[in-house]
Amino acid sequence: MKHAIVIFTKVPKAGENKTRLSTERGGILTVEEAADFYKASLLDVIESCIAATCCDVYICQNLNGDKDYFHNLIEAEFGKAAVKEIFTDKGQSFDQGMQYATDYIFKDGSDQRLADSVFIVGGDSPSLQPSTIQEAVKKLEVIASSSKAFTCARQTKIVKPIIGAGIIESIDQEGGFNLIGYTYSTPFSFEGVFYNSDGVTALDMIAIKAAERNIPMNLVEMIPDIDLPVDLASLLPVLNTLKIVQHYDSNIKLPKRTIHYLEELGLQTSAPVTAIVD
């Protein structure tokens, strides 16, 4: 089975990335610092996707992003061959954008498809580990080879799919997901996942869609993303722990750019101290 991973992202630019971390929206960073933080995080995510070595790496960037800048940035950091392709999102919403990214890879399940499965991640999960991506790939291969997976795949228009249906996802700290992958024969779309009239969380909506179509499904470990100041505060002890753990586990990939940038800012996190009354 051939796998692709698509990093769904905006090109780093002040005022367009992680604005909820900025002082203009109640955060603690300037808009320039928020964009620089996102740039560091995005590059660390890309590095983890490359290091996993189990998927062709693609990047889907925002329509109005500076594509030349992005190409030059990726080439300078990783070389020309590390990323298979950078393509431009043409969706009008988050749902449509993620659907466009998967459709771009799957080509309607035709023989021209770029991969048999696609995984989508964002650029704001700097603690994402290559081992998590590898685990997701292995779990998808297992569930997609089951008899239930091939029964489910018959709901699609694909004639005699060589791979069964299946979904793998992570969970995040706010009822969403930061990694999702599925095969080209899976009867799934992103319609209504992020934008629905019932106020259903993205994570619940994936589960609902999977249950409705009997799509085999599995999970990998939680992958936190960084949207709010509280997320950033929670990330700091994670990074501190990773710095220790990597001395004892060679499989750990340190998000070095993110760590370096946050250290430059001098950010620290602390827990409230409760007075002990005798």
Query: Are 134 and 94 contacting, i.e. CB atoms less than 8 angstroms apart?
Result: no
200-230 pLDDT, tens digit per residue, is 999 999 999 999 999 999 999 999 999 999 9
Amino acid at 80: K
User: What pLDDT, on the 0 to 100 scale, is given for residue 19?
Assistant: 94
Residue 274 lies in a domain: no
Residue 140 lies in a domain: yes
Q: Is 111 helix (H, G, I), strand (E, B) or coil?
A: coil
User: What pLDDT, on the 0 to 100 scale, is given for residue 30?
Assistant: 96
Q: Which residues of 130-145 are buried (b: 16+ CB within 10 A; e: fewer)?
A: bbbbbbbbebbbebbe
User: What pLDDT, on the 0 to 100 scale, is given for residue 278?
Assistant: 62
Residue 275 lies in a domain: no
Q: Closest by alpha carbon to 105, among 190, 5, 187, 178?
A: 5
Residue 126 lies in a domain: yes
What residues have CB less than 8 Å from 226, skipping those under 6 apart?
A: 18, 21, 37, 41, 124, 125, 126, 232, 235
Residue 271 lies in a domain: no
Query: Are 160 and 184 contacting, i.e. CB atoms less than 8 angstroms apart?
Result: no
67-87 pLDDT, tens digit per residue, is 899 999 999 999 989 999 999
Number of domains the chain contains: 1
Task: Output the pTM of the full model.
Answer: 0.94
User: What pLDDT, on the 0 to 100 scale, is given for residue 160?
Assistant: 87
User: What pLDDT, on the 0 to 100 scale, is given for residue 121?
Assistant: 97
Q: How confident is the model at residue 196 (pLDDT cuts 50, 70, 90)?
A: confident
Residue 248 lies in a domain: yes
Full domain range(s) for residue 189: 3-265
Residue 272 lies in a domain: no
Handedness of CA 93, 128, 70, 21 (dihedral sign): positive
Q: Average pLDDT, stretch 165-194?
A: 93
Q: Nearest 5°: CA angle at 52, between 99 and 176?
A: 40
Residue 186: which CATH number?
A: 3.90.550.10
Amino acid at 190: F
Residue 278 lies in a domain: no
Q: Average pLDDT, stretch 177-185?
A: 96
